[in-house]
Every structure is written in structure tokens, then in C-alpha cells.
């Protein structure tokens, strides 16, 4: 049966901008909320497995910074409203990081924020260049991880102690670190991730209805050859 207490997902958003399709992977979570499931033509027994999810949209600034924005820009001339700053948000079950520009360099406050929640949260999930802020934190050492194929050589220079894998998505640190490759690989990763927090009966049903095909973790060899 469903758990009435919401899972709290913090979404770390770079003021430098965020890729819309990376951000959109959150919707794979949202379709399991009881409010969403009310409108879905499935059995009540399946709907009972839904889970409330609370999203915190966190800008990479501290509250005392007068330049902290109310919104963060996404690609496609869209934007998302901010609910929290680095120092205003409380406990997070999960930290989700959609991709900023590859040239993004996190501030000391952002680095400390990620390090804190790497210890306290159940897991960190990154999509595409969402792995970039983690390059500066030291938390990737010895961890299995991935990112956009074409940028992995650059990432290896920044975090040589990480175990970089050329895969669509990777789970490292005993399930506490999920990372994906390019933008649409965020959907691949999230479709796998939800099966760890939602009972399989509902998870499989909704993933199938969303037509998120299981492409597996490995890229086709012909694609890898174009990047090499």
C-alpha cells in the first residue's frame, strides 16, 4: 500500500542555466504521485502503491545573496520557479541535478551543499552534465559514474579517481549515486530508479504506459565507435 509521507527530492539548479530535457526526467517521478494517478485508468489496487513526492527547487545561491534569482532559466526559453536556496532547504531524501553548461564551475557554497547531502541523502541522481558540479566535490573518488559520451575524456581529467563508464546510466556507491549519459538517458535512468522506490506492479505499469522502452545500460557499439 502507499506510504503517506512524501519523499523529498531536492533539485539543484544552476543560475548559469539548465537543460530542459534533463530537468524533464523529474516527470518520471511525478507520474507516481497519488494526485496524478487519480486520472489514470488503472485499478485502485495499483493506485494504492502511489507515493507522494515533494519537489524542492534549489538555486545555487545562499539566501543572503541579494542576487539570488526567483527563477532559473531552462533551454527552450522556459524557466522554473525557485522554492529554496542552498541554506534554506532542510532534509532531502534525494538530490537531483540536471545539467548546467559544461563550463559550469560551482561555488564553494554549492560544493559544500553537495558534500553535505551526499552524506545525508539516500542518493544523488545526475542527468547529463549534471555530473559537472560533482567533479569539484571529491565525492566521486572510487565511484562508478558516467556522463555525456563526448565529455567523458574531459571528466576523466577533472576526476581521474572516479571509475568512468561509457554507459547510458550507471549506479555507484552502493546505490547512493546514479548518473546518466546524454539528455535522453535521464529517462532511461529514472525509469530504472523508480523501481527502487515504487512497488514493481505499479512501476512497470506506468513506465510501460509512458512508453519508456528499456534500452539497457549499454550503448550500441556503432555509437561508441563514433565517439572514440
CA distance 47 to 88: 33
Which residues are bridge partners to 58 per DSSP? Answer: 12, 84
Q: Where are the alpha helices (DSSP H) in the chain?
A: 20-24, 27-30, 34-37, 44-47, 108-120, 152-158, 185-193, 200-209, 221-227
| H/E segment holding residue 154 | helix 152-158
CATH number of residue 92's parent domain: 3.40.50.880
Pairing of strands 123-126, 177-180: parallel
Domain of residue 60 covers: 7-227
- End-to-end Cα spacing for the chain: 47
Contacts of 213 (CB under 8 A, 6+ apart): none
Residue 2: inside a domain = no
Pairing of strands 123-126, 94-97: parallel
Residue 196: inside a domain = yes
What confidence tens digit (pLDDT) does each residue in 194-205 have? 999 999 999 999
Residue 1: inside a domain = no
What confidence tens digit (pLDDT) does each residue in 55-66 have? 999 999 997 656
pTM attached to this predicted model: 0.95
What pLDDT, on the 0 to 100 scale, is given for residue 1? 46
Which of 59-63, 68-72, 111-115 is predicted most confidently? 111-115
CA distance 220 to 65: 46
Residue 142: inside a domain = yes
Residue 162: inside a domain = yes
What pLDDT, on the 0 to 100 scale, is given for residue 224? 85
Contacts of 142 (CB under 8 A, 6+ apart): 161, 162, 163
CA distance 102 to 129: 6
Residue 52: inside a domain = yes
Q: Is the pLDDT of residue 148 over 90?
A: yes
Q: Structurally, how many domains does the chain consist of?
A: 1
> Do 130 and 99 form a contact (C-beta atoms < 8 A)?
yes
CA 67 to chain centre: 25
CA distance 208 to 81: 30
Amino acid at each position: 500500500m502507499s506510504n503517506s509521507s512524501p519523499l523529498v527530492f531536492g533539485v539543484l539548479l544552476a543560475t548559469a542555466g539548465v537543460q530542459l530535457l534533463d530537468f524533464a526526467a523529474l516527470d518520471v517521478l511525478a507520474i507516481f504521485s497519488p494526485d496524478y494517478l487519480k486520472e489514470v485508468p488503472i485499478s485502485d489496487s495499483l493506485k494504492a502503491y502511489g507515493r507522494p513526492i515533494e519537489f524542492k527547487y534549489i538555486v545555487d545561491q545562499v539566501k543572503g545573496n541579494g542576487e539570488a534569482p526567483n527563477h532559473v532559466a531552462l533551454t527552450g526559453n522556459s524557466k522554473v520557479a525557485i522554492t529554496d536556496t542552498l541554506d534554506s532547504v532542510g532534509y532531502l531524501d534525494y538530490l537531483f541535478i540536471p545539467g548546467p553548461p559544461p563550463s559550469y564551475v560551482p561555488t564553494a557554497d554549492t560544493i559544500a551543499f553537495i558534500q553535505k547531502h551526499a552524506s545525508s541523502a539516500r542518493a544523488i541522481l545526475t542527468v547529463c552534465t549534471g555530473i559537472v558540479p560533482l567533479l569539484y566535490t571529491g565525492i566521486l573518488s572510487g565511484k562508478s559514474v558516467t556522463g555525456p559520451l563526448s565529455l567523458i575524456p574531459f571528466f576523466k581529467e577533472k576526476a581521474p579517481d572516479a571509475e568512468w563508464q561509457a554507459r547510458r546510466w550507471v549506479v555507484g556507491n552502493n546505490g547512493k549515486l546514479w548518473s546518466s549519459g546524454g539528455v535522453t538517458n535521464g529517462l532511461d535512468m529514472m525509469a530504472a530508479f523508480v523501481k527502487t522506490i515504487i512497488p514493481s506492479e505499479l512501476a512497470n505499469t506506468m513506465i510501460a504506459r509512458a512508453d519508456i522502452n528499456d534500452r539497457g545500460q549499454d550503448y550500441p557499439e556503432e555509437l561508441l565507435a563514433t565517439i572514440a
